[in-house]
Amino acid sequence: MEHLAAALAEKRAARQALKAVALLLAAILCFDTMSVLVRVLSVRYAPPELSAYRNVLGIVPSLALLVWTGELRFRGSSLKIQNWPLAVGRGFAVALAQLFFYSALTRLELATVATLGQTNALFSVVLSVILLRERVGPWRVAALLIGFAGVVWILRPGSDAFSLAALFPVGAALCYALSMVTVRMFPPEVSNGLLYLYSSAAAAVGAIILAAFTTEFTPIGSLLDLALISSMGILGGIGVLLMMLAYRMAAPAVLAPFGYFGILSAFTVGWLAFGETPVDTLFPGVLLIVGAGALIMWRENRHSG
């Protein structure tokens, strides 16, 4: 009986991990579409103000989605949670990450931004060891190292990727990793809706403060711009929500390698939307990055089979 119970628990954990991976991939698609909108809007609006718009507008659709799915439950208690400073701090980290990310999108190709952003995987594993005291097995470490080798191969010393602008997506990756890893520091009884309220509200306030000190707000020039800005905020809010749910369902070390597939989607979107084809830059390093994700999938399926 004990062996059967352990096997069932193992299968449930495997299904949970697969659901988390699906949520993460859906979040990547939301962020890709949002990136296109940021690039289009950046001709008329500065990255700090776009980040502020995204954070303020992103709250409304995300709350509507939470209510519709039943995630917005406060269990009859007040809006206060025990570790509220950490929840607020996560929001400020997201605001800083988005400022870095939006600034990178205006200076680098989408695929290059996505590639440099994959340092998120390394930061997630390191932070999970430091903050969560998690143990990372040799297979995951090997996969992450292989993926990082692919990133280095793509960048190549002396390329434009080593300019100051290349530090923006790396900084964004660190801040996003901090936000995603710390979400697991909250107990299960803290609802996703309440946790999201804290982080999204703090991100909105933080983005407004950053924009106020770094740029001047430009009046929205047309109804089309208003629609594009609104869509940017909706997609960004949904993407963050999906990613938060994914990282509450599975450990960062399990999810981190799957973020590498964001490089392929960013390459496709950049090619379709802007005619960007950095094939010579991405290959053959991208094969190592995709191989790292495949190695993790193979290992997880073999372990749970």
Q: Report if residue 12 sits inside a domain.
A: no
Q: Report if residue 3 sits inside a domain.
A: no
Q: Report if residue 242 sits inside a domain.
A: yes
For the chain, the domain total comes to 1
Q: Is residue 274 predicted with pLDDT exceeding 80? A: yes
Q: Report if residue 78 sits inside a domain.
A: yes
pLDDT class of 69 with cuts at 50, 70, 90: low
Q: Report if residue 7 sits inside a domain.
A: no
Q: Is residue 73 predicted with pLDDT exceeding 60? A: no
- Output 137 or 159, whichever has higher pLDDT: 137
- pLDDT tens digits along 231-241: 998 898 888 77
pLDDT class of 305 with cuts at 50, 70, 90: very low
Q: Report if residue 84 sits inside a domain.
A: yes
- Output 229 or 166, whichever has higher pLDDT: 229
pTM score, whole prediction: 0.78
What does the pLDDT read at residue 161?
55
pLDDT class of 176 with cuts at 50, 70, 90: confident
pLDDT class of 230 with cuts at 50, 70, 90: very high
- pLDDT tens digits along 178-203: 988 888 888 877 777 777 778 888 98
Q: Is residue 71 predicted with pLDDT exceeding 60? A: no
What does the pLDDT read at residue 196?
76
Provide the domain limits for residue 148: 17-304
Q: Report if residue 205 sits inside a domain.
A: yes
DSSP states along the chain: -HHHHHHHHHHHHHHHHHHHHHHHHHHHHHHHHHHHHHHHHTTTS-HHHHHHHHHHHHHHHHHHHHHHHT----TTS-S--TTHHHHHHHHHHHHHHHHHHHHHHTTS-HHHHHHHHTHHHHHHHHHHHHHH-----HHHHHHHHHHHHHHHHHH-TTSGGGSGGGHHHHHHHHHHHHHHHHGGGS-TTS-HHHHHHHHHHHHHHHHHHHHHHH--PPPP--HHHHHHHHHHHHHHHHHHHHHHHHHHHS-HHHHGGGGGHHHHHHHHHHHHHH----HHHHTTHHHHHHHHHHHHHHHHHHHH-
